[in-house]
Chain A
Amino acid sequence: MNGRGQIILGIVIVAAALAAPLVFPDFRAQIAMLWVMVLFALTWDILGGQTGYNTFGNILFFGTGMYAAAVFQRDGGFDYFPGLFIGMGLGALISVALAAILGSMILRMRGHYFAIATLGLGIAAGEIASGWDYIGAGSGMSPPLFPGAPGISYIFFGYLFFGLALITFLLLAWVYRTRFGLALNAIRDNEDKAEAMGLKTDTYKIAAWMLAALFLGLCGGAAGNMLGFIDPRDTAFAGATFGVWMVLMAILGGKGTLWGPVLGAFVFHVTQEILWTHLLGWQRVALGLIIVGIVVFFPQGILGWARTRWPERFGHRVETS
């Protein structure tokens, strides 16, 4: 896709996104959740796709942001909106710090070892949260009630998540075009070679994870408020659902591409909602089949498949000049 095509597509999506909650009032909650999914996939892909470090622990930052915001709203003594925004910022800050500290410890591990270590992170966080009285332990937390009519909250959060997703997307679009983006790709393709060329691979990996943590932290803080209830294992540190979905969506759309995670999130979320509606009771089974199908038949994802099929359209051509 060329630059102009991308801009036109972007404008169409932005216009549709702005109109959607007003045109489809019945689907406001799902539309808001769609942008959360886009955020999940985009942030996962920074390390998982672009850098080739499969992480199952990004849910840690989502949950941390969720709890941090809720605690600040509870104890901070601010009105709803200042409390929410400062709480989100605080959650993002803690998430970024966590990414820096944990990253400097486990991002030196490679391949499967790193993946397993991150899997442990999400589970450990869930266990800690469900045993810690200060944040409600196993019975969870309830963020303050949204001021205004019940339906309005989904409009507000829908636009908030859309704004966050848009900022994340634009920032990543820029980052992936810088030499930092190339450095991440170089680590993905051959980390030993990247080191042999003098690149500071550890620094870049940690920075990439911190970037993901920043937006997941912000997203988590708002998501707790939208959902209205924080459960340590089912909403905050929901590794078996959100944690796996963020990986799947990125893979489905085409990991390591800019648009892939967005596309993957759309396809996945819509499919999943349809399954909930039409296959109630069997939705988990159907979802499982879809997961297997994606991994077996679309290991490169939709965009990855398209790139292999039409390499010239992605600019990979021999030039005879």
Chain B
Amino acid sequence: MTTVDPDFDAAREERRARLFTRINKADNWFRVLGLAWITPILKAAAGDNPRAQMKDVWRLLGVPLLAIALFLALWGALAPQVQTSLGAIPGPVQVWEQVENLHAEHERQMDRRDDFLARQDARNAERIANGDEPRYRDYTGAPTFYQQIWTSIKTVFFGFLLATVVAVPLGIMAGLSATANSALNPIIQIFKPVSPLAWLPIVSIVVSAVYTNDDGLFAKSFLVSAITVTLCSLWPTLINTALGVASIDRDLVNVSKVLKMNTWTKITKLVLPSALPLIFTGLRLSLGVGWMVLIAAEMLAQNPGLGKFVWDEFQNGSSQSLAKIMVAVFTIGIIGFLLDRLMFAIQSLFTFTNNR
């Protein structure tokens, strides 16, 4: 297209150019959110070389969908061939049935809660009529699957935040001072490989002894799970922060000396911004580790989240148990993936790379 073209319309071309710029900018965000396949579709719709865009769409969307379909087909074919004492291993259809079942159980529980609240309102109306104070109590039914998912997410974030608060300052210290690094290093190396299952009894006993207020903000099982998550997930953040801080460009450190910056300014204006990419890498790793550890910690500490759900289903030993456990496995995986994407998105907001 040149300006000699009789069909050339300057305004339309300008609009198109602006559209493509917007699509390219949006592409950055789509990539971050894992939706990179939307861009070629938009570009094709806007008329930019549709055939090349279709190739991109195939690579970004078509191939993954095909792989997933192949996995489901393979699973559906192989699963019924393995017989266990709880029945055949469930295939995709049975697992989907349990998803519907869990939703139905959630609905049933919500109905019973509404009945309870209605009865409570009726009782309170009577009490008010008799001149007594109305009494309000929470519904005491078992938590449903969705409530358990939410409890797990709350617990992992609490543990993760605690881990960040502990690990980042320690990491900065270890990065800035070689002495601190030598001091912390043996402790880090020894405690890093310890499994959450080994920490759990100790954490349990300590929390039981120290946190004796039964009506406090947190349940003991919540604290035990969250602290176990902290103990296992603070190491990636700590190590990466130390590494990030230690590998600041020498020139920048010299600048801080020339400008005679005090420690606080040095940390906030120099160290943190330079080390952020590695700190965020550490945070992402920590959240990933924390989510894995959480499931094990919940199973043993009986925190009412996904870990307890899996454990209870194992104990139930009903014919639906294996399928429900698989639903939990997929849920754990999908939530882990979403958490990772979330951290990646936050990381993109706060860091500068050569591509931006």
Query: Does A pair with B?
Result: no
